[in-house]
Amino acid sequence: MVAAVDINVTKIEHSKLNEMSLENIPFGKYFSDHMLEADYENGEWKNVEIKPYQPLVLEPSLAALHYGQSIFEGIKAYKDANGNAFIFRPYDNFKRFNISATRMCMPNVPEEIFIEGMKQLIELDKNWIPNKKDHSLYIRPLMFATDSMLGVKPSESYKFLIMLSPTGPYYAEPMKIYVEEKYTRAAPGGVGFAKNAGNYAGSMIAAQEAKKLGYDQVLWTDAFEHKWLQEVGMMNVMFIINGVAVTPSLDEGTILHGVTRDSIITLLKEQGIKVEERRINIDELVDAYKKELLTEAFGTGTAATVAPIKEFKYKHEVMQLDTTKATVASALKKRFDDIRYSHAEDIFVWMVKA
């Protein structure tokens, strides 16, 4: 039984929804009417409130801005045919959030704030859940250090926020991916498994350089040989090789433990497709491509959902995949959507009512 928490609620007077449409909205640009805010001070969480979405007033010496103690999550909410709001696997993101918190020397957020607060916020702003195909309400929990000090040590105070952003698909078209050999995202013992802000800051230069070459994202490789595949920027990656789904394993702590990754593995198994979570080398991928055994590749992530890949570039190799023939990815996406949009029975108990 989760302890109850008193959440002070202040509602908006006039919804911003009256002035906008929820169709064809870009990712992360608009925010709903309300947000949740809580503070951690003197070893306890306090001031939990839901209030109109608004700017924060922060000190220039805010610890998070200097030393990067900042973590976040990405979750999605959907509506069923009766207009009830459901959140997709929020407990899994809750666990991962606190794993990131522990790694970054931050306090854990209790379930009654993270989950119960999120449910209340979504219930209040459920009109912001778009009805359109491939659209949803993206939920962004965030925690950052709020001590006002320049000494390098874990902060003693933190702010936790949840904001909501209606969204369409992140990648509307199949992706072109550049296999990264110069920069490194993560090494064993590092923070690759955590969803901390710095991981994203550190990866931007690689994505930017790939973009200049005409690629949408990079495929990260290991720090030592630049051979062992990790993840694609912002998502986990899966390959269909000779009918088997192969995806990098979580063992080395260098990739994010994707909730979508886990869901897709479950759905692959449901469809009778063998799944191998293991180390995978770029040379194996090139070899499989040359033998025409590599038939599909796709990214999985909350924002990206199931995002087909149409090309990999590695050194002088350009590996092109015909995504119109990507039957595994399209069947998975359909099954995944049917569950999330409540068109099919939620047999894995993934949907949590707000």
The rounded distance, in Å, linking the Cα atoms of 7 and 25 is: 30
Q: Is 130 in the site for ligand COI (CB under 6 A)?
A: no
Least distance (Å) from ligand COI to the CB of residue 128? 17
Is 166 an interacting residue with respect to ligand COI (CB under 6 A)? Answer: no
Spacing of C-alpha 141 from chain mean position: 11
Q: What's the min distance (Å) between Cβ of 274 and ligand COI?
A: 26
139 binds ligand COI (CB under 6 A): no
Residue 262 burial by Cβ neighbours in a 10 Å radius (0-12, 13-18, 19+):
middle
In the block, which residue shows the tokens 């108990």? 349
Interaction residues for ligand COI, span 224-243 (CB under 6 A): 234
**CB-wise, 142 or 149, nearer to ligand COI?**
142
303 binds ligand COI (CB under 6 A): yes
Piece in contact with ligand COI (CB under 6 A), picked from 101-109, 150-158, 296-304, 331-339: 296-304
CB of 2 to ligand COI, least distance (A): 24
- DSSP structural state of residue 69: -
Over the window 7 to 36, marking each residue x when it contacts ligand COI by CB under 6 A and - when it does not, the resulting string is: ------------------------------
Dihedral, 300, 306, 312, 314 alpha carbons, nearest 10: 0
- Please report the beta strands in the chain, taking only residues with DSSP state E, as ranges in sequence order: 8-9, 34-41, 44-52, 70-72, 75-79, 85-88, 136-145, 158-167, 175-179, 217-221, 229-232, 236-241, 244-248, 275-278, 294-301, 305-314, 317-320, 351-353
Q: Which is nearer to ligand COI, 217 or 302 (CB)?
A: 302
**For residues 68 and 74, which CB has a smaller minimum distance to ligand COI in the complex?**
74
Residue nearest to ligand COI (CB): 74
User: Half-sphere exposure of 48 toward its Cβ, with a 13 Å CA cutoff?
Assistant: 20
Using the rule CB under 6 A, give the single segment among 16-24, 31-39, 175-183, 299-307 that binds ligand COI.
299-307
The count of chain residues that interact with ligand COI, using the rule CB under 6 A, is: 6
Nearer to ligand COI, 62 or 303 (CB): 303
Judged by beta carbon, residue 165 or residue 295, the one nearer ligand COI is 165
Within 183-222, which residues bind ligand COI (CB under 6 A)?
Answer: 200
Cβ–Cβ under 8 Å, residues 246 and 239 = yes
Instruction: Name which position in 74, 110, 166, 299 contacts ligand COI (CB under 6 A).
Output: 74
Decide: is 301 part of the binding site for ligand COI (CB under 6 A).
Answer: yes
Q: How far apart are CA 270 and CA 285, in angstroms?
A: 25
CA nearest neighbour of 36 among 164, 155, 146, 133: 164
Residues in the chain: 354
Number of Cβ atoms within 10 Å of the Cβ of 164:
27
Nearer to ligand COI, 234 or 241 (CB): 234
Closer Cβ to ligand COI, 142 or 293, answer by number: 142
Residue ranges in contact with ligand COI by CB under 6 A: 74, 200, 234, 301-303
